[in-house]
Amino acid sequence: MTARRDVQAAADRIAGRIRRTPLLAVDPGPLAPAGRMWLKLEHTQHTGSFKARGAFNRILAAHTAGRLPRTGVVAASGGNAGLAFAHAAAHVGVPATVFVPETAPAVKVAGLHALGASVVQVGARYAEAYEAATKHAADLGALFCHAYDQPDVCAGQGTLGLEILEQADGEVDTVLLAVGGGGLLAGVAAALEGRARVVGVEPENCPTLDRALRAGRPVEVDVSGVAADSLGAGRLGDIAYDVAVRTGARSVLVTDEAITEARRLLWRDYRLAVEHGTAAAVAALRTGAYRPASDERVAVVLCGANTNPSDLPDAA
SS3 71: coil
125 closest CA partner among 31, 222, 51: 222
Please report how many Cα atoms fall inside a 13 Å half-sphere around the Cα of residue 146, on the Cβ side. 20
Helix, strand, coil percent content, the chain, rounded in steps of 5: 45, 15, 40
Which pLDDT score, from 0 to 100, does residue 142 have? 97
The predicted-structure confidence for 129-138, as pLDDT tens digits, reads as follows 999 999 999 9
120 closest CA partner among 77, 163, 91, 168: 77
The rounded mean pLDDT for the chain is: 94
Does 316 score more than 60 pLDDT? Answer: no
> What's this model's pTM, rounded to 2 decimal places?
0.95
Does 125 score more than 90 pLDDT? Answer: no
Please give the backbone phi and psi of residue 301, each rounded to the nearest 5 degrees, phi first: -85, 120
Beta strands 297-301 and 36-40: pairing type? parallel
Which pLDDT score, from 0 to 100, does residue 136 have? 97
CA distances from 45 to 40, 41, 77, 203 (A): 11, 8, 18, 23
144 closest CA partner among 59, 228, 65, 87: 59
Which pLDDT score, from 0 to 100, does residue 315 have? 58
Core vs surface per residue 137-147: b (16+ CB within 10 A) or e: beebebbbbbb
Structural domains of the chain, ranges and CATH numbers in brackets = 4-50+151-311 (3.40.50.1100), 52-145 (3.40.50.1100)
